């Protein structure tokens, strides 16, 4: 396959990424439920992340979507900002 053919195929595969939904057995890291986020963060982190902790963070200002889902990128940025603020105090 030539580079042009490969690039064309790739662009076709990803042309609808803004509206595409992940398959039902996959979790979307940009729109996770609180339970999904707690499970994933506990699995990859050094400790347990509970739903209660995430709810507390949301109460304290952690960003969520209009339907209450967590975008892990936005959450990580918020958490980093909070940690930096706490360290500056």
- pLDDT, one tens digit per residue, over 45-59 is 889 999 999 999 999
Q: What is the dihedral of CA 14, 27, 48, 78, to 10 degrees?
A: 50
Q: What angle do CA 21, 25, 31 make, to 5 degrees?
A: 45
pLDDT at 26: 83
What residues make up the domain containing 32? 28-88
pLDDT at 10: 47
In a domain, 10, yes or no: no
What total number of domains does the chain contain? Answer: 1
Which segments of the chain have a pLDDT < 70?
A: 1-23
In a domain, 49, yes or no: yes
């Amino acid at each position: 396959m030539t580079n042009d053919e490969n690039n064309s195929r790739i662009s076709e595969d990803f042309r609808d990424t803004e509206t595409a939904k992940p398959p039902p057995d996959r979790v979307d890291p940009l729109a996770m439920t609180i339970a999904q986020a707690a499970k994933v963060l506990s699995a990859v982190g050094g400790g347990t992340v509970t739903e209660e902790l995430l709810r507390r963070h949301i109460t304290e200002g952690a960003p969520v979507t209009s339907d209450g889902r967590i975008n892990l990128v936005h959450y990580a940025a918020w958490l980093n900002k909070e940690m930096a603020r706490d360290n500056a105090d």
